[in-house]
Homo-oligomer: A and B are copies of this chain.
Amino acid sequence: MDEPELLIDLLEHIGLLLRTERRRQSATHRLSEVHLAILDYLAHCNRFSNTPLAVSTYLGITKGTISQSIKLLESKGLIKKETDKDDRRVIHLSLTRKGSAITRSRPAANWRKALQRLDNDDLRHATQVLRQLLDQLQKENGYKTFMQCRSCRHLLANEAGAYRCGLTQQPLKPRDLGKICVEHEPGSPGAAESG
């Protein structure tokens, strides 16, 4: 078996384990695995990416289904909706305190422990390679990369060191750079490097 296929097998398997782990955790909150996935996503995404459409793109399920899940999560008081001020078709989702509490315990402690056992340089390198893989998949397939603003070609910094998004022209705080964005495109022109 060749190396690329081996890597895909590993990615597939680890992906399944992540789902299994999430399923286990979701049971304790009386949620489905997908619902927990939505909460996790909302905890990581920036303010351009917290819409039902972005969620459905990220998770790969249809917007009709997502709409149902969101209704349920809202009824449980885990997320709240807010209409966009500029485009009144758009809805922004955010975690309530209660929803935020659930995501704070993730990723699971045992996964963190397993990662701590690995060499730091190895982790960094593997992360870098997967990032490249995602870039290539974006080029080949048009998949959205959903990565951090930090590595996005739209990220701009002025001479005062303030950041903004070249696409939306919105200002970005330093902490925004670590959030994932539905508009992310690989390559970082004049901006900060990861790390």
The answer to whether B139 touches A114, judged by C-beta atoms less than 8 angstroms apart, is yes
A91 located at the interface, meaning its Cβ lies under 8 Å from any Cβ of chain B in the complex: no
Residues of B within 8 A of A128 (CB): 122
Which A residues from 134 to 150 make CB contacts under 8 A with B? 134, 136-137, 139-141, 143, 146, 148
Inter-subunit contact B1/A115 (CB<8 Å):
no
B126/A114 in contact, CB under 8 A = no
How many angstroms between the C-alpha atoms of A20 and B1 in the bound complex? 24
The reply on A101 being an interface residue by CB < 8 A is no
Interface size class of A (residues with CB under 8 A): 35 or more
Q: Identify which of residues 67-91 in chain A touch chain B, using a CB-to-CB cut-off of 8 Å.
A: none
Given the known interface contacts A10-B130, A19-B60, A44-B9, the answer about A140 and B114 at a Cβ–Cβ threshold of 8 Å is yes
Are the CB atoms of A9 and B180 closer together than 8 Å?
yes
Determine if A27 is an interface residue (Cβ-Cβ < 8 Å). Answer: no
Smallest CB separation, A93 vs chain B (Å): 18
Q: Say whether B15 contacts A137, CB under 8 Å.
A: no
Partner of A7, one of B117, B123, B134, B137: B123
Is the CB–CB distance between B4 and A12 below 8 Å?
no
A177's closest neighbor in chain B, by CB? B1
**Within the assembled complex, what's the spacing in Å between the Cα atoms of A132 and B126?**
11
In the complex with contacts A124-B3, A134-B10, A180-B9, A59-B114 CB distance below 8 A: no
Contacts A7-B127, A9-B44 supplied; 14 other A-B pairs, CB < 8 Å:
A3-B127, A4-B116, A6-B127, A7-B123, A8-B18, A8-B111, A14-B133, A15-B16, A16-B60, A19-B60, A23-B60, A111-B137, A126-B129, A126-B130
Interface residues of A (CB under 8 A from B): 1, 3-21, 23, 40, 44, 58-60, 107, 110-118, 120, 122-134, 136-137, 139-141, 143, 146, 148, 178, 180
